[in-house]
Structure formats: C-alpha cells, structure tokens
Amino acid sequence: MTENKDNTTHFGFQTVDKTEKVHKVAEVFHSVAAKYDVMNDLMSMGIHRIWKRHTIACSGVRSGQKILDLAGGTGDLTAKFSRIVGPEGQVVLADINESMLNVGRSKLRDIGIVGNVEYVQANAECLPFADNQFDVVTIAFGLRNVTDKDAALASIFRVLKPGGRLLVLEFSKPEQEALSKVYDWYSFNILPQMGKMITNDAESYQYLAESIRMHPDQETLKDMMHTAGFEEVSYQNLTGGIVALHKGFKF
C-alpha cells in the first residue's frame, strides 16, 4: 500500500482527514497506555518479547553509542539499549503520545534505568533533532500508526549518522493463506474482546487490528525505505510473516 498524497488517510478501515488521524491515534493510546504491557503479553502470548530481543540482537548497538527508540512507548527496547550503551552512551525514548511516554518513564525508573535515557515527546514525521545524531534508530510497532510514513522515514534518515541503521519491527502480511485466515479470525474476534475485558475498550483494539491490515506489506515498505534514501534494505519475516523486521542503512 502506497502513501495517500491528498488530504485524507486511513484510520483503521475508516477514511479520515490527515489532521484528524493524529488525534484519533492519540485517543487510542491515551486509552490503552496503563494496560499496554499487559495487553501485549496477552495478545501475543509473550512472543512480542522474542521479536524485540531479536531486533536488539540485529541492531548492532555497542557501548557508547547514541540510540533513538522511536515510538518507544513503555520502553521495552530502551531498557535493553540503556544497559548496552552504558554510561558513555545515550538512549532517547521518543513517543508522540504523552500517556505512553509517562508510563515508559515510570516503568524504567522503577527498574533502575536512569542517567543515560532522555524522554522526548516527538512526532516521527518531523523529529526535533539535529542532522546526523544517532547511530541506530528503532521503531517497533509504531510505524503503522504514523499518518505520513514517507515523511517519517525521511525524518529518520536525516537524524541518522552516516553509517547508521534503521530497524523497523512491525506487524506485516503472513506468508501463508491458512495462517492469514487464522490470524484474521483471532484479530477481529478475540483481540477486541480482550481489550474490552482488560481495558474496557474494545474499539481501540478493533482499530489496532484494522491498522495492521492497512499497513504496507513487506515489499512495499522495503521500497519506501529505498525511496527515503536507505541502502542495503532487507527484511526478515518472523512468526510466518505476522511480524517483519526491516533493516536499512544510511551511507
């Protein structure tokens, strides 16, 4: 799926004005922030932790580096990166949603992550950082919620240092039709009911299921990263393509 260049975009299966989507997505994550980690474990049966560990293993992050965990939410990747980069490095946990950022800040401080982590409320489409700042940028399960993904990829490219890399971990398109059917049934029948029981908010999880279907597939996102300037772009399907990890470099 390519980016829509007029003034409308998709919010799940709805067509909305681009300015409206930002507010609608914000409402979703304000609603789910407090229970976000619990729901992630339930929805994925804990597998999201494996996907994130794999992303960290593929990131090449080293001691002393500067990392941007974009749409970092409750800080799962930031916590690991903080320990890897050490006191000489820095991790910026950035999220557009204040509620998610507050949950992430509290969670990380509770587990003793202080000193080398900065918290920034930021829109991925226009990052408030100077050019060539970061060794690695990650965005895990956040790109599909961005209104203008092309703008976000260009903004990420700008703030990466030459030689830096981007990793995009995101729900994608299952490789097998049988898996796709099971996944669709689970997403549209089970997830909203979980959301209703755990967060009293079925609608937000209905949106999240729909947003996955509207997200560009693996090859389309690969092409979008190339267009933004990234080189050696590749992707790896995880769990049969339910999730894909895209990687690209700035040279």
* pLDDT tens figures, 47-82: 999 999 999 999 999 999 999 999 998 999 999 999
- Any idea what the CATH number is for the domain that residue 114 is in? 3.40.50.150
**185 exposure class (CB count in 10 Å sphere: 0-12, 13-18, 19+):** exposed
Q: Residue 33 forms beta bridges with which residues? A: none
The answer to the question of residue 10 being in a domain is: no
Number of domains in the chain: 1
The answer to the question of residue 52 being in a domain is: yes
Q: What share of the chain is helix, strand, coil (3-state, %, to 5)?
A: 50, 25, 25
In the annotated binding site for S-adenosyl-L-methionine, the residues are 74, 95, 123-124
Residue 109 CB neighbours (<10 A): 12
When pLDDT is averaged across residues 212-240 and rounded to a whole number, the result is 97
Q: Is the pLDDT assigned to residue 237 strictly greater than 90?
A: yes
In the annotated binding site, the residues are 74, 95, 123-124
The answer to the question of residue 158 being in a domain is: yes
Torsion of CA 183, 184, 188, 192, to 10 degrees: 20
The answer to the question of residue 6 being in a domain is: no
Instruction: Give residue 35's Cα distance to chain centre.
Output: 17
The answer to the question of residue 24 being in a domain is: no
Q: What is the mean pLDDT of the chain?
A: 92
Domain that residue 126 falls in: 29-176+204-249
The answer to the question of residue 82 being in a domain is: yes
The answer to the question of residue 1 being in a domain is: no
CA distance 195 to 228: 35
Predicted pLDDT of residue 5: 54
The answer to the question of residue 150 being in a domain is: yes
